[in-house]
Structure 1
Amino acid sequence: MSRNALVLQSDFGIDDGAVNAMYGVAYSVDSSIRIFDVTHNIPVFHIWEASYRLLQTVSYWPKGTVFVSVVDPGVGSERRSVAVRASSNQYIITPDNGTLTHVVQKNGIAEARHLDEVLNRLPNSGESHTFHGRDIYAYTGARLASGVISFDQIGPEVSPDSLIKLPVMEAYIDNDWVAGTIDILDIRFGNLWTNISRGLFSNLDIRYGDVLEVVITHGINEIYRQTIVFGRSFADIPVGEPLVYVNSLDNLGVAINQGSFAETHHIGTGIDWRISIRKAG
């Protein structure tokens, strides 16, 4: 029997037994299954962050790895459950509520299926309709990862185009400015991660050591406007100073060396948080 890793993420936290119960269900399917976590500290109901954390991790896992992502404010409603095969051949099982937005946009989806919640449900799980993470997603993910079922047994095929997607904005160049969104925070350090790719940024002919003008807005309000050095790494600048750099996803980031840029300047994330950068003149 072919076995693949099962990787879990949720907004459940680890202060109670919810995540442990998901582990238990997976091990009841196959006691030899290997289970790993992306994170269980997604802010509650924060579908956008769940989507981005999948982008951050999925393509770095071997083909056949099964991800289960449960950030599900619509649990118990008519919202659809889906299983998809990414173009890089990992699987993701999740509510169809926008959680796949960034994977669809950046990686692509090769195949999608409507997860049949009647056939793919933990036996004897009663009439509970509030813990699909345990009763449906962890159970189905473990069965797929352990080879008990195949992908096509999860449910009928649906078009990847039918998957629900959150609003996104593509980064773009306007004259000598490059503009995009602040998609996520590098949580532990408070760095801003943007959707401006290194490839797009390179069209501005900016070199390491150049000074950049950086403008951050939230809706119609300008929150930040300063000049910042473009550095190769944090070692390029003194402690406490800001820099623009290329992050681990090959996109532009903004940070303070050994400080939190987000906390210092009260910066958030999402489609309404915009950033524009150009070479300071």
Structure 2
Amino acid sequence: MTRALVLQSDFGISDGAVSAMHGVAHSVDHQLSIFDLTHDIPPFNIWEGSYRLWQTIAYWTKGTVFVSVVDPGVGSTRRSIGVKTGSGHYVITPDNGTLTHVSRTEGIVEVREIDEKVNRLPRSGESYTFHGRDIYAYTGARLAAGVINFEEIGPALDPASLERIPVKDPEVGETSASGIIDILDIRFGNLWTNIPRDFFNMIDVRYGDTLKVTITHNGDEVYRNSMTFGRSFADTHKGEPLVYVNSLDNLAVAINQGSFARAYNIRTGSNWTIDFEK
């Protein structure tokens, strides 16, 4: 059975790297359906690679094979793996924390270490810096095309042994909700948090209410202001900040027709915390 193959990396598209990955996958099976998740992950940013994978994976059909390559440790002793998620998807990736968000939400039910003696592009054995092409795209394509089954990727590993990035869980109090800035809505510069909309229901925050918003980085305050909780950007004037519910049903912060991230030099990760208070 042929499955879709979805590619993600931090390679960009200004050179031939992504095209080479497509070419390798196409050479495995020229009828294989190959798609791109994104290749604009900031270089070496494993956190963002982990998030973008989670953000997308649930919307693809069960059995889809994902190849995610954000690999600052390429050529080192870090493991190359294939996993089966609790939602029935497959991911081929380096074991460096890229599966952090997926493992927390979908779960990882089985892990295999890639056997490079079998699952490696022929005549690439002396190449140590382009595993995205030589190992991950090749193995992912072979799995998606049905050339190999999941067990033929390599020996089994304990899912508990996977590398994970530290994540701070959201919290709710009597009058406040707090969490981290999980990711940026890149094109528009909005801040997407890991705080679910239900937390506002728990503290009786309603559309139109004014909230005090505080952002800290490594414990140091970098932003504090009051803003409206709105249904959409139409609830504020151009240039004004607002809190809203994003497409993942989590709370987010934006400037109407502006970039909040750029205006206040905000980034993402577990060391960027945000607090909403009534």
Structure 1: runs of 5 or more not aligned = none
Q: How does 1:132-211 map to 2 (within 5 A)?
A: 132-211=131-210
1:202 deviation in Å?
2.0
Deviations 1:75-116 (A, max 9, x none): 111100111111111110000000000001122112211111
- Whole-angstrom CA distance in 2 between matches of 1:19 and 1:78: 24
- Whole-angstrom CA distance in 2 between matches of 1:226 and 1:107: 35
Alignment match, 2:255 = 256
Decide whether the 8 Å contact of 2:74 with 2:128 is kept in 1: yes
Identity of aligned residues (%): 65
Residue 102 (structure 1) aligned with residue 101 (structure 2): yes
- Whole-angstrom CA distance in 2 between matches of 1:220 and 1:146: 48
Alignment match, 1:34 = 33
1:200 deviation in Å?
2.7
1:117 deviation in Å?
2.0
Task: Return closer, same or farther for 1:163/1:126 CA change in 2, 3 Å cut-off.
Answer: closer
- Whole-angstrom CA distance in 2 between matches of 1:183 and 1:265: 16
1:212 deviation in Å?
0.7
- Whole-angstrom CA distance in 2 between matches of 1:19 and 1:87: 28
- Whole-angstrom CA distance in 1 between matches of 2:169 and 2:77: 31
Decide whether the 8 Å contact of 2:173 with 2:203 is kept in 1: no
What amino acid does structure 2 have at the position aligned with 1:274? T
In structure 1, the residue corresponding to 2:38 is in which secondary structure?
coil
Q: How does 1:62-77 map to 2 (within 5 A)?
A: 62-77=61-76
Deviations 1:174-210 (A, max 9, x none): 3322110001100000000101011233211111111
- Whole-angstrom CA distance in 2 between matches of 1:154 and 1:67: 14
In structure 2, the residue corresponding to 1:54 is in which secondary structure?
helix
- Whole-angstrom CA distance in 2 between matches of 1:241 and 1:161: 45
How many residues matched? 278
Question: TM-score, with normalisation over the residues of structure 1?
Answer: 0.97
Question: TM-score, with normalisation over the residues of structure 2?
Answer: 0.98
Alignment match, 1:120 = 119
Structure 2: runs of 5 or more not aligned = none
Decide whether the 8 Å contact of 2:174 with 2:203 is kept in 1: no
- Whole-angstrom CA distance in 1 between matches of 2:203 and 2:159: 35
Deviates more, 1:180-189 or 1:263-272: 263-272
1:242 deviation in Å?
1.1
- Whole-angstrom CA distance in 2 between matches of 1:106 and 1:244: 24
1:46 deviation in Å?
0.5
Once superposed, which parts of structure 1, at least 4 consecutive aligned residues long, lie more than 6 Å away? Answer: none
- Whole-angstrom CA distance in 2 between matches of 1:81 and 1:15: 26
Residue 229 (structure 1) aligned with residue 228 (structure 2): yes
Residue 4 (structure 1) aligned with residue 6 (structure 2): no
Alignment match, 2:47 = 48
Alignment match, 1:111 = 110
1:160 deviation in Å?
1.4
- Whole-angstrom CA distance in 2 between matches of 1:271 and 1:126: 37
In structure 2, the residue corresponding to 1:60 is in which secondary structure?
coil
Decide whether the 8 Å contact of 2:51 with 2:101 is kept in 1: yes
Deviates more, 1:137-146 or 1:101-110: 101-110
In structure 2, the residue corresponding to 1:201 is in which secondary structure?
helix
Alignment match, 1:274 = 273
What amino acid does structure 2 have at the position aligned with 1:50? G
- Whole-angstrom CA distance in 2 between matches of 1:55 and 1:31: 28
- Whole-angstrom CA distance in 2 between matches of 1:248 and 1:117: 39
